[in-house]
Structure 1
Amino acid sequence: MSTTTTTDTTRYAAHSYLADYELHHSNHPSASDSRPNSHPDAQLAQRNPPQWPSNYRRIPPYRPINRDLDQSQRRVYTTTGERIFLFVMFTGVQVNADINRLWNATGGRLAQSVFQYKIGGEW
């Protein structure tokens, strides 16, 4: 038995791809208005009605610095769990560095590839 293999080579021209992106203008104005449009939004601007509240604009009223503030009156932590969560969040980098130093001083000497992962161009 014999088999016959044929290869069909199709060549694409870059011009046919670029033809899809060509701009075709159907309406050519004979003369353009040389006078520029002066602020079209100014004509549409309207004033707020008289009953519209204007005593606030998402800006809190000015308060001078309270230099006699008693910090013990502020609630910082509501529960022990919140205190632990915030401590770990704010000191997470330090905790990771401490654990890394501890591992390298103890188990890292014996098993150097346990917590080593290949990244980026190391494959």
Structure 2
Amino acid sequence: MSDTTDAVKHSHPAHAVKHGASTEAVKHILPEADARRMAHLSAQIATLLYEMSEIFAGAAAVKHDSLEPRYVPSSPAEADADVTYIEIVRGPAGTGCYVTTSDGTSWCEYPCGG
């Protein structure tokens, strides 16, 4: 929605600090159909992340309930043409990554970069 009269200003300090933004953000209200679609997609993503974290826990021999599912792909600045790192979990030993190479080889690494 581009109409700023419908935008609501709010503050979310934790998010702002993490992303280097000011603590003042603008919340844009979604039309009802878009809000329903976003809720549906968010639920699907949460389910997929949970499933990926279960696979990761099994591969890394880590208790699944000690892991927090997440999805943080390498930034373009960190990207390597041959290797892609995606943070899949956060746990007691740090973040855990799913790593793929250009030849299709993949593995789980815990902690990332270890």
TM-score, length-scaled by structure 2: 0.23
Larger Rg over CA atoms: 1
Which structure carries more relative contact order (alpha carbon 8 Å, separation 6+)?
A: 2
TM-score by length of 1: 0.22
